[in-house]
Structure 1
């Protein structure tokens, strides 16, 4: 249980640090404010997911604890992210819709990936302090990550596609609910997707998040991870757009 509370504290610190950056961004011009919020929110998403994955892999939490923590953290993300998407596919979609220039989308994507790399360094530094047993275990393996796939490459890619499709569909229809219920609905969908697909692919359904969490893992090549974690979510998001026409 001590491991759990240390991880919860680390989640809180990650959110607080990101929120401070978002608050500081309010004094900047609107363009720079958007970029800084995107970077801070992506950093928060990756840091929290690193810690949740470590808990799930090492601490063997009871299912009820794991799902409750996933739901709660997702809810916090939705409330704090403001207009940040933390997802390269969303930036590319905004270009297709004409709401953002290609150059602006490129800057957003670059900042997202930079934040994903910064999150890797941040959690490694935090884990190196050895505040809990699972952090010490991770330090003893030199922060290495092993094969994250619980199925074949094709199965994992299909899971990522399906998760991205379901989440995008949920986001498109959430406005039909009472405004107070919308974030709870999305958080519940994300939690259900993680529960259903986590054992096969890890249920990232976000290219930049997967880049931070799964790409450093051994077991598969870079191109194989691209197939699963980049092509799968992009096709899932596009498939949702086709079905919405």
Structure 2
């Protein structure tokens, strides 16, 4: 249990940092993109530790799959509650841009901040592992230079997996975006946990370019371009396809609805129709 206690302390420290940044940034809304930095940092830093528990915890700390699933769900739930609208996900930033809900500059700043947050999370996690507080982290520190890639299939299979998972996630997200946070956040956390564990052995379904960058791009087995095709292009394609299916068009690209007929909101009363016929 000492390994689990150390991990819980690490999670708590990361959450406190993200919550503190969010509190401070409220005073300076013009630099709100820093929230995306904190959100991405929290997500990647916590997920790196979850990955450690998955890879090492079962035989170094006695932590089974039920524990890792629970930890991942709690991490995603806490992330949604703490970070709110700051998703820490470039796909979501691009989704807002394609929906005409954000302009070019804020979108670019948000995406840049998200990747900086992911890179900073790697630095913090490696520093934490170097402290070797438990046997689990000592082993992880030894394994850090030769980590296992999350992409366990061919490039085409990986692209298709990420694309389909991003499609499913985005469609559900778009249907839930107008719901209360009390409903939306837990459901999104459950969905991401389910997709991640369903796609284990394939791509792990990160559906988040900055998260994938932080978790697997530095691992041997594939080139940077190959990782980008799967985790960036694949998830982006799935997201854009989901938006097109949901709205019938992509507002940033097509002004006209290409899939669904637009019905008028107002109906002519039957009495008025009868009067027109008599005339």
Answer yes or no: same fold by TM over 0.5. yes
Which structure 2 residue ranges, 5 or more long, are not aligned? Answer: 249-279
Distance 2:7 2:201 in 1: 21
Q: How does 1:68-79 map to 2 (within 5 A)?
A: 68-79=70-81
Match of 2:38 among 37, 40, 47: 40
Match of 1:55 among 43, 53, 70: 53
Q: When the two structures are superposed, what TM-score results if normalisation uses the length of structure 1? A: 0.92
Distance 2:91 2:181 in 1: 25
Change (3 A) 1:13 1:144: farther
More divergent stretch after superposition (6-15 vs 60-69) = 60-69
Which structure 1 residue ranges, 5 or more long, are not aligned? Answer: none
Contact in 2 for aligned 1:127/1:136 (Cα 8 Å): yes
Alignment correspondent of 1:213: 215
Contact in 2 for aligned 1:150/1:201 (Cα 8 Å): yes
Change (3 A) 1:96 1:143: same
Distance 1:27 1:205 in 2: 31
Alignment correspondent of 1:132: 134
Question: How far is the alpha carbon of 1:178 from its aligned partner?
Answer: 6.3
Q: Tell me, yes or no, if structure 1 residue 10 matches structure 2 residue 18.
A: no
Distance 1:180 1:96 in 2: 26
Contact in 2 for aligned 1:124/1:143 (Cα 8 Å): no
Instruction: Identify the structure with the greater helix proportion.
Output: 1
More divergent stretch after superposition (17-26 vs 217-226) = 17-26
Contact in 1 for aligned 2:33/2:106 (Cα 8 Å): no
Q: Tell me, yes or no, if structure 1 residue 228 matches structure 2 residue 230.
A: yes
Q: How does 1:90-105 map to 2 (within 5 A)?
A: 90-105=92-107
Contact in 1 for aligned 2:18/2:83 (Cα 8 Å): no
Change (3 A) 1:142 1:97: closer
Q: How does 1:113-132 map to 2 (within 5 A)?
A: 113-132=115-134
Q: String of CA shifts for 1:158-214, please: whole Å, max 9, x gaps.
A: 221122112112212225766533222111111110110122112211001111111
Contact in 2 for aligned 1:117/1:212 (Cα 8 Å): yes
Alignment correspondent of 2:273: none
Distance 1:46 1:22 in 2: 17
1:228 match: secondary structure: helix
Match of 2:152 among 150, 153, 160: 150
Alignment correspondent of 1:240: 242
2:218 match: secondary structure: coil
Task: Mark the structure with the bigger radius of gyration.
Answer: 2
More divergent stretch after superposition (135-144 vs 227-236) = 135-144
Q: String of CA shifts for 1:213-236, please: whole Å, max 9, x gaps.
A: 110101111111011111111011
Q: When the two structures are superposed, what TM-score results if normalisation uses the length of structure 2? A: 0.82
CA RMSD between the two structures:
1.7
Match of 2:91 among 59, 66, 89: 89
